[in-house]
Structures are given as structure tokens and as C-alpha cells.
Structure 1
Amino acid sequence: MPHLLPDTGPQRVIAATNFVNTIGSGLYLTAGVLYFTQAAHLPAAEVGLGLGIAGFVSLAVGIAVGHLADVRGARGVYAATLIVRGLATACFLLAHSFWPFVLAVCAATGAHAAEDAARSPLIRRHGGDRPQEFRAYLRAVTNIGVSVGALLAGWVVQVGTHTAYELLVIGNAVTVAAAAAFLIFLPPVTPGGAVDGPHRLALRDRPYLLITALNGIMAIQFKVLTVALPLWMVEATTAPRWLISSTMLTNTVIIIAFQVRAGRGVDSPAAGGIAYRRSGVAFAVACSLFPLSAGVPAWAATTLLLIAVVVHTVGELWHSAAGFGVSFALAPEHATGQYLGVFGLGTGLAEALGPTLLISLCITWGRPGWYVVGALFALTGLVAPLAVRWAGRHEHARHREAAAAALAA
């Protein structure tokens, strides 16, 4: 279990900001869609369409905001993303028709997507010798905050009144605003300034783009437990319905307890490549176990599903550790925000396309679809170490060119 508090003051400020912020995220993730359908009375089809539009709109935001954080100062840009998201979330209270809903949710989703890119230079500056380990700690904190928010959202859903849903929106907006206020206590990071040549340096780094794409394919795994598995359990198994929440709780507890420990072994890009390979194997094993839960007694289905969830979560620990380590190690220090903004494109695409892909394969097609998804994860895990080695050679070549240019000058 990671230490409750980080070692340094700036790390504690970032962790506190993250914790308060993710309480609001837990509220929204758990019951945000229900607010729009039950309180704002928007048709479910319109809500789904609007969320899809917002997902695609937000993809490019991280790159621009990450670059802005590099050249203007990460603390102020990060605070601005939180303030924008808080205001956009408050506007949900006014979104009682389709286009106001789309505008509000696009602003909120775009700001949320920009947060990671804006925060990345802060993590690199204040994260000590191994910022990826501090990033792993923040992921554990995130799961704690989301869990608290989910519990509060459970009360909202249980009460089910219009006022309760409005309190959910207000609570989300207030937590985001409070998170921004915490940043007053964080020392500013000196901007790295614009780099020589095109600002869009990361978009020209082909090895990094390949790793981004591979990480995006692997990131579809985040939707396995939240989209594919609940539908599978309800439609194809005799497992009790309470198991849906139990699987999520199992996943959350393991991540909180072991994410930092999993990240400690990923101390180089090569180690990150190995972690990607291990995660691909773990996801493939889990995807082979999930379909076995159909057509068996409830006790057997429950046992198989819990084992599969544990195996899947082990893969998630390795996948997250690999992403943290590789994305930071291969990003130039002066362009951390920009590079991490590009790296977030893969996860954004997985967020937008993953649910449809998993439902089509695992639910509509059924058992064979699970095996196809598992094979996709395994293949991605096998290719990732090769891509990491290519990126490492590219990074060394870039350093040699920079050194030669410095000597010539």
C-alpha cells in the first residue's frame, strides 16, 4: 500500500488537487448520464450522440494545451483547465435541449482531456527522480477519489429526485473549483520556452506516434470492465447482479494497493516495453476466462468472473505502469506537455471507439469475440517492445544531433 502522503510539499499539493478533483469525476462518471436523462429529460439517443461528439472534439485539445503549458507555465494553464471545466459543468444545469447540452459537454470534456497534458510538466518538475512513480501514486489517489464520488452518486441515484441530481452537478462543479484553488500553494514551473523548429514537435516523432497508437489499442481494456463485462454478465451468465459492483470494487482495491509497486519495476523504456508485453498476455488470459462463465451454474460463473477480473486488473497495473514510464522517458523535458498531450490521443480514441468495438465483438458476436479481443491485446503487447526500442534509437539519434549542433555553434 503506498504512503498516504507524498514526501514533498509540492507533491502533496498536486495529490490533494487530484483527490478533490476526482471526487467530482466519480460523481459524474457514476451518474452523469442519468442526470441528463432523468433530470434534464434529454432522450438517451441524444445524450449518447452528444457524448460521442464531445469525445472526438476533445481529442486535439490536449496537444494544444500541453504545448501552451510548456511555453506559458504549467500551473496557470492547469488551473485554467480546471476553472473552465468547473464552469462548463455548472452549465449542465441550463442544458435542457440538445445543442446547449452539446456545447456544455464539449467544453467540459475538452477541459478534462486537457488536464492531463497541462499537469504533466508539473509531475515531471515536482515528481522527483522518478516522475512516473509519482504518476502511479496519483493513479492510486484517483481511484480513491472516484470511489468516494461513486458512493455519493449512489445516494443521488437512490433518492432519484430532480433536486438530488442538481446537487450532483453542483457538487461536481464545486470540487473542480476547489481543486483549482489548491494550486495557489504550488510553486510555479518556469516555462521551457518555444523549441527550435516547428512547435508541433511531437506530431513529427513517428516512433512516439506508433507507441501512442499501440497504447491506445491497449487502452480499450479500460472499457472491458465498465462496458463489456456488465452487459455480458446480465445477458449471458447466471451470475448474481450484485457481482457487477463487486468486480469494480475488486479492481479498484487492487489498483489502490499495488499501482505504485507495479510502477517501481518500470525504470526504463525497455522495462516499459516488457510491461506492455506482460499486460497483453494478462488481458488475453482474462478475455479467455470471461466467455467460460456462460452456460455454467451461478457459483461457477461467479468464481470464473472474479478470477478473470483479478487477472485483468494485474494486466491493468502493468499497462498503466508501462504507459507512465514510456510516455515520460521518451518525451523531451522542454516539450513534456506537448508530448503527453499527443500520448493522450490514443486513450481518447479508445474512449470514443472502445465501447462500440467491445459491444460488437463481445456482446453481439459473443464468445468468439472475446477471443478476438484477447488476441488483439496479446498482439499489441508483442509489438510494443519493438516500437519502444525503435523510439529509443530515435531518441539517442536526436540527442547526438543536438550535441553536434551545440558543438558547431
Structure 2
Amino acid sequence: MSRLLPERGPQRLLAASNLVYTVGSGLYLTAGVLYFTQGVRLPAGQVGAGLAIAGSVALAIGIGAGHLADRHGPRRVYAVTLAVQALATASFVLVHSFWPFVVTVCLATGAKAAGLAARSPLIRHFGGDRPQEFRAYLRAVTNVGISLGALAAGWVVQVGTLSAYQLMVVGNAIAFVVSAVILVGLPAVAPAPVADDGTRRVALRDWPYLALTAIDGVMAIQFKVLTVAIPLWLVTATTAPAWTVSGTMLISTIMVVLFQVRASRGIDSPVAGGRAYRRSGIAFLASCALIPLSRGIPGWAAAVLLLVAAVVHTVGELWHSAAGFEVSFALAPVHATGQYLGVFGLGAGLAEALGPGLLIALCISWGTPGWYVVGALFAVTGLLAPAAVRWARASERGGRVDDRPARSWRPTTRALRQRGAA
């Protein structure tokens, strides 16, 4: 186990907090949409619209939270976002109609976006020589937590009662509270220094970085394929057993646990990140071409086909995530890590805003042709990434100063490299 864990100290505390957080997230990611559609009985179209509104609200929150983390210290800001997310999530049990759903999901999604931005300076500060690899390790931990949550969510989906779904929501909120409590033992991180020229919101003027943010945002819609599109497709268009919802999530999370760190090793420059985006788009196209074939066939065959599609999809997810880690950190200056990573989080916000509604409209309402359109969208977007990376590199050479300090190779990072597919 010592090879699978970071050294005692900040890295282990961050990993533990992340694990608890994602156990709760695994519950919601696997069955959250079904809670609102099957438990609360909101129409799927209203759920998609509400999630789109929440994602739109979250778009600007990440930038502000990242800026606050840079200026006032990331640990405190991150802990506050976890507390808000816990309260908002617990409020889901009070939702019985559209507008209360919109309010609560906006609070929860906004707090999530803020937390991702506020956590980024912590990852960079405690992540060693290559925080990208520590971020990949945290994603492997994330998927351990999600897999545990998905197991419990499988029981919730199988039971299918409102009480079971509400128990899932309460468990999710408790996980957020415990995650925040763990952060008490984390050393405080001093606010980041202001740039020499006094500028503060430099990320919003970095057009190549914004272009990469947009590309990552479109690609990030892929996260909603497993958590929104496949569950709804399975219950409305196939005869596959209900446990297949958890099965697709589990197979994906296990693959990420085993291979995310390994996949990130080979993507060690922005140029390599651009190529990885391109490969991931092709994998998503292949997965989206397989999923509609599960309609009109026996339940066992549909389950097998959906599981195979989940494997192909996850290969693309590994490449996409590793590319995002490398590009977002490598092109962000130290004095504005939270701000830059908050801007890059607009990609995830874009996926939250557009992903559920887009996937429901194309893949569920339109059906089979919509899956092919979504796959083509991923493939074309991935093909644009290498050119965007070249633009960003040319912009750096043309005058933007790289103020990232050289750092010595630290034992914690070497141990992370040796950890393999942990």
C-alpha cells in the first residue's frame, strides 16, 4: 500500500479529502439524473434545461473563485465551496418542482466549479515538480471513490423508490462535509504574488488559452455520456437490465484507476497534449457509433454492447483528461494559477451547461442519428486541438513571459512516477 499512497503530509490529506468527496459524487453521477426523472418525476426535458441553466451560472463562478484563491489563499476558499456544495446537495430532498430544482442545482453546480478552481493552486503547490502527474493521481483516486459510490447507486437504481434516492442525496451531502473537515490538517498556502506589472485578470486576455478552454469544454461533454445519455438511453430505448447503468460507470472508473497515471506520463508537453486531444476525439466517435446499436436487440446483448462502448469511451477519456492536465498547468503562470485554472474550468462549465440538454436532445429525443452527430462533434473538435496548442506556443514565444520557477526533482514526485497505474 505504501507504493499506492502519497507520502504522509499534504499530498495524502488532499488525496483522502478527494476520496471521500468522490464517494459521494459517485452516488450522484451514477443516479442523479434518475433521481430527478424517476424519483421526483420531473420530465427529462426540464431536467436537461435546469442542468443547462446551472452550468451557465457556474461558467463565471470558477474564474472568481480562482482569483479569490490566488489572492486570499486556496485552502480556506476550497473548504467554503465544499460547505456550500453540501448544503445545496442536501436541499435536493426538498425539490418537487422545476424552479426549486433549478435553484438548488445552480448552487450545487456553482460550488463545484468554484471548488475545482480553488483546489488547483493547492495541487500546484503540493504536487512536486510535475503537478500534472499528481493531478492524474488524484483523478485515479477520484475514480476509486466514484466506483464505490456507483456500487451503492446501483442498489438505489434497482430499488427505484423515492426514499432510496433521497438516502443517496443525504449520503452525498455528508461526504462533502467530511471532505471539508479533512482539509483542516492541510498547511495553509500563502496568497500568490501579484504579477510584476500589477495585472490581475490576465487569463481573460490570453486568447490562445481561451481557445484551448473552448476545445476542452466541447470535449468535456463526453463526461455526460456515461452519466446522462447512457442511463436515459438504457431505460428508454433498450431492454438491458438496470444494473448495466452501474456496470458502465464501474468499468470506466476501474480503467481510470489502473491507467490514468500511466496515460499521463507520455503526455509531457503541450504538443503531446494536442495530439492526445485528437486521439480522444476519434475514440469518442467510435463509442458513440456503438451505443445506438443496443436498441432492438436482446437485453443481454444490449448490456454487453453498452459495456464495450464504455471501454472504448474510457480510452478516449484517459487521453482527454491527460491532455487537459498538461495543457492547463503547463500554460498557466504561477502568479495566476487559480485564475488560469478557473478559466480553464469554463470548459467543464460549458459541458455542465450544454452537455445534458444537448445529449438529451440529440441522443434521446432524436435517437440513433443524434449519437452519430455527437461522435462527429467530438472527432472534429479533437482535430482542432493541435493547431490551438501551436498558437499558444507561438504566443508564449512572442512575448508572454513564462514565470514558472525551475524546481528540483522531489522524492514525492519520483514515488508518484513509480506508482504505476495506481
Normalising by structure 1, what TM-score?
Answer: 0.87
* CA positional deviation for 1:352: 2.0
Does structure 1 retain, via aligned residues, the 8 Å contact 2:271–2:386? Answer: yes
Which shows bigger deviation, 203-212 or 356-365?
A: 356-365
Q: Which moved more, 1:346-355 or 1:92-101?
A: 92-101
Higher mean alpha-carbon deviation, 49-58 vs 307-316, is at 49-58
| Structure-2 separation of matches of 1:304 and 1:28 | 24
1:54 to 1:389, Cα distance in 2 relative to 1, 3 A: same
Q: For the structure 1 residues 362 and 71, does the alpha-carbon distance in structure 2 shift closer, same or farther, using more than 3 Å as the test?
A: same
- Structure 1 residues 14-163: aligned runs within 5 Å: 14-32=14-32, 49-95=49-95, 99-156=99-156
* Higher gyration radius (CA): 1
- Cα contact 1:72–1:193 (8 A) shared by 2: no
Task: Provide the rounded CA distance (Å) in 1 between the counterparts of 2:307 and 2:165.
Answer: 32
CA contact (8 A) 2:54 2:352 kept: no
Change (3 A) 1:283 1:114: same
> Per the alignment, do residues 239 and 167 of structure 1 end up closer, same or farther by CA in structure 2, a change over 3 Å counting?
closer
SS at match of 1:246: helix
Q: 1:353 to 1:386 in 2, by over 3 A?
A: same
Which position in structure 1 is the counterpart of 2:213? 212
Alpha carbons of structure 1 residues 171 and 236: separation in structure 2 relative to 1, 3 Å: closer
Pair 391,157 (structure 1): closer, same or farther in 2 beyond 3 Å: same
Amino acid at match of 1:370: W
Distance across 2 between alignment mates of 1:232 and 1:32: 15
Letter in 2 for 1:336: T
Query: Residue type matched to 2:64 in 1?
Result: A
- The 3 A distance-change label for structure 1 pair 142 and 181 is same
Residues 288-313 of structure 1 deviation map (CA, whole Å, 9 limit, x = unaligned): 33344456666665554433322221
How far off is 1:175 after superposition?
Answer: 1.8
Q: CA 1:291 to 1:134, structure 2 compared with 1: closer, same or farther past 3 Å?
A: same
Q: Residues 198 and 93 of structure 1: is their aligned pair in 2 closer, same or farther, counting only changes over 3 Å?
A: same
3-state secondary structure, aligned to 2:191: coil
Q: Could you say if the C-alpha distance between residues 236 and 150 of structure 1 is closer, same or farther in structure 2, counting changes exceeding 3 Å? A: closer
- Secondary structure, counterpart of 1:5 in structure 2: coil
Partner of 2:176: 176
Moved more, 257-266 or 349-358: 349-358
CA distance 1:30–1:374, shift in 2 (3 Å)? closer
- Secondary structure of the structure 1 residue equivalent to 2:345: helix
- Spell out, residue by residue over 1:16-62, the C-alpha distance to the aligned partner (whole angstroms, 9 max, x if none): 01111112222333444566678778777665554433222111100
Find the aligned partners of 2:59 and 2:9 in 1 and give their Cα distance.
Answer: 32
Q: Note closer, same or farther for the CA distance 1:27–1:143 as it changes in structure 2 (3 Å cut).
A: same
User: Is the CA contact (8 Å cut-off) linking 1:239 and 1:298 kept in structure 2?
Assistant: yes
User: Residue 407 of structure 1 aligns with which residue?
Assistant: none
Match of 1:342 in 2: 343
Deviates more, 1:81-90 or 1:250-259: 81-90
Whole-angstrom distance in 2 between the partners of 1:100 and 1:376: 33
Paired position in structure 1 for 2:410: none
Displacement, 1:241?
5.0
The list of structure 1 runs, each at least 4 consecutive aligned residues, that deviate by more than 6 angstroms after superposition, is 37-45
Label 1:387 to 1:234 Cα distance change in 2 as closer, same or farther (>3 A): same
TM-score, normalised with respect to structure 2? 0.84
Q: Can you give the 5+ residue segments of structure 2 that lack an aligned partner in the other structure?
A: 405-422
Would you say the 8 A contact 1:2–1:137 is kept in 2? no
SS at match of 1:398: coil
8 A contact 1:19–1:141 mirrored in 2: yes
- Structure 1 gap ranges (5+): 404-409
Q: Which moved more, 1:225-234 or 1:257-266?
A: 225-234
Q: Is the CA contact (8 Å cut-off) linking 1:59 and 1:348 kept in structure 2? A: yes
Question: Following TM superposition, by how much is the alpha carbon of 1:65 offset from its aligned partner in structure 2, in angstroms?
Answer: 0.3
Letter of the 2:260 counterpart: Q
Distance in 2 separating the partners of 1:244 and 1:158: 10
Would you say 1:280 and 2:277 are equivalent positions?
no
Letter of the 2:142 counterpart: T
- Secondary structure at the residue paired with 1:6? coil
Any idea what the Cα deviations from partners look like across 1:1-25, whole Å, max 9, x if unmatched? 9953113521100000111111222
Q: Which range moved further: 348-357 or 264-273?
A: 348-357
CA distance in structure 2 between the aligned counterparts of 1:401 and 1:120, rounded to whole angstroms: 18
Task: In structure 2, give the amino acid aligned to 1:60.
Answer: A
Question: Cα 1:234–1:176, aligned 2, differ >3 Å: closer, same or farther?
Answer: closer
- Corresponding residue of 1:406: none
1:24 alignment partner AA: G
Partner secondary structure for residue 189 of structure 2: coil
Q: Partners of 1:155 and 1:248 in 2: how far apart?
A: 14
- Which has the higher mean CA deviation after the structures are superposed, 2-11 or 72-81? 2-11
RMSD: 3.1
